[in-house]
Structure 1
């Protein structure tokens, strides 16, 4: 075991590295690996062009050939405002620095807006896989609205040389059914063209904050969001890592089953994320967790998130602000630390 990983995890090292899942044992999962496209995806209805582009993602960067993904997402210039995102490191107002960080950081691919990737496509589309994010929330509308609007078309992503498209659905929101329809239609067209489809399967509803607890990251609710994402044939699902459970029961809505809480999960973070993976067709659709906002303890939080994701059966991490809101050398170091978790043979699937 890398002593660095143990040192970073500190007092949580034994709990996270030695835990064994029993509710949903690893033998039931379709786990990531070098042969994932051949073993799992080739059995689906995806055409050969999708298989080729997905394999190109898996073959890139420091994790190339492992079946795991380390992605750099930089669409926050639209989602959170360019000033809020890039003022800590103004170089990243320039799209070229975004792509260069992904390359230097050893990532499998870079996910960003049509404008960012289109601005440098002829220089970089053949050097690192592009994932074009099709829709965004934007916070310039006053008062703020929380919805996903299409800023780009699938054909535009295809023409600039992308291997994949991405989109967000705010599951649980009033607008979610329209978003599901828009994204489902976009993904169907993307698959026809051979593009991989990545879904940001986020929850959004003020009612999910109840009696002082935020259930937007509850395992049961995010698990269902993952199941819906798999239903519209996302190839990769991006999800916030589960931080709790019991959303259905606390909010007293929808349908669930006591075994979800009594047998399939526990309070252990790996069990909670294992339930998220189980809802991705037991891992037939890869789940990557988001890295979260930048803060004072980024290295520890990033490595911890990666260890939990990998041990739960996840496919990797997509970390943006923790990397690009720092000097480049520090951002590269953080991305490499995440990747080291997936490269370690001793960080096993629980």
Structure 2
């Protein structure tokens, strides 16, 4: 990737030059072509799960690098279909979701039982399926925020899934039930030989104050990651951290001054590295979400997020709306731009 394609801003240049002095890179289990051998071979994952992980890590433009780019399209349920596909109605047709992931060089496509159910026989052998098994639906009035199961792990396996994905709203009133449901689902998925991906989202109205939104604080999201790897996630999906001090400001949980003084800083890369550290120091891969589409700035924002994730020790991005809420070829270009960050050997761990 040529530097000129980045349209390097002062902030991006600073990110590219940053040296992490908090949790140093030698403490991290770094991504790489041998990541599965180094970090999963000694684990309790079965040969069938290792094969599924191999499919995820060895598909698309990032195959064999230890990094991944995933296209997620579950917003038709999570945000309503009209709001999600209104900017580009072609994606009301599920086949175009799969086509975008393939043409965009993705490692996998993450979407719903319904989408895969309509096209599974045509595409299950062409790109790994990551079936999202639970969702928050917004048709209930007034809206409630709770992830509920939309199908079984067995159904995902019958669709030819390489992996299953689920969300837990850590911090919500329903989180206890969600943890139990997802832990059981991930255990069953591993029994059937599938990999597991967990959307580790903080969710509680009290986490947002008039000054800051601590749903994206490094300490809260880091702890969510730590809970996620504990219940058997093979890959953690998390929002990029934007601040810190959620526990200390909201005055709950257990904290130590090192969490803020020595294990992190205000630098975005250091904040993300704290997330990686909570994924067993990178033994379980961290992928950050791409966030909402804002239009003209999407490409630059996606590249910035990829740089932060990669330099922190993360393993890639799972970016949807920035890609599918624009013309098809532009979506492919954006996905490729993200992947180019991980292919660029000049962009190293901080």
Q: Shorter-chain TM-score category?
A: over 0.9
Q: Map of 1:110-189 to 2, 5 A cutoff?
A: 110-189=109-188
Q: Map of 1:146-295 to 2, 5 A cutoff?
A: 146-295=145-294
Partner of 1:326: 326
The answer to whether the 8 A contact 2:146-2:174 is kept is: yes
Q: CA deviation at 1:216?
A: 0.3
Q: CA deviation at 1:43?
A: 1.1
Deviations 1:324-348 (A, max 9, x none): 0000010001000000000000000
Partner of 1:340: 340
| Partner SS state of residue 21, structure 1 | coil
CA distance in 2, matches of 1:14, 1:162: 40
Deviations 1:254-287 (A, max 9, x none): 1010011111111000000000000000000000
Deviations 1:44-98 (A, max 9, x none): 1000000001001111000011010100000000000000001111110011000
Question: Where does structure 1 lack aligned partners over 5 or more consecutive residues?
Answer: none
Q: CA deviation at 1:12?
A: 1.5
Q: CA deviation at 1:4?
A: 3.0
Figure out how many residues of one structure are paired with residues of the other and give that number: 349
The answer to whether the 8 A contact 1:294-1:322 is kept is: yes
CA distance in 2, matches of 1:68, 1:335: 13
Return structure 1 stretches of 4+ with deviation > 4 angstroms: none
CA distance in 1, matches of 2:71, 2:151: 19
TM-score normalised per structure 1: 0.99
Q: CA deviation at 1:211?
A: 3.3
Partner of 2:308: 308
TM-score normalised per structure 2: 0.99
The answer to whether the 8 A contact 1:148-1:170 is kept is: yes
CA distance in 1, matches of 2:124, 2:265: 43
The answer to whether the 8 A contact 1:5-1:341 is kept is: no
| Partner SS state of residue 9, structure 2 | helix
Partner of 2:317: 317
| Partner SS state of residue 340, structure 2 | helix
The answer to whether the 8 A contact 1:57-1:129 is kept is: yes
Deviations 1:164-219 (A, max 9, x none): 00000000000000000000000000000000000000010000012321100000
CA distance in 1, matches of 2:334, 2:94: 20
Partner of 1:14: 13
| Partner SS state of residue 275, structure 1 | helix
CA distance in 1, matches of 2:47, 2:217: 36
Question: Where does structure 2 lack aligned partners over 5 or more consecutive residues?
Answer: none
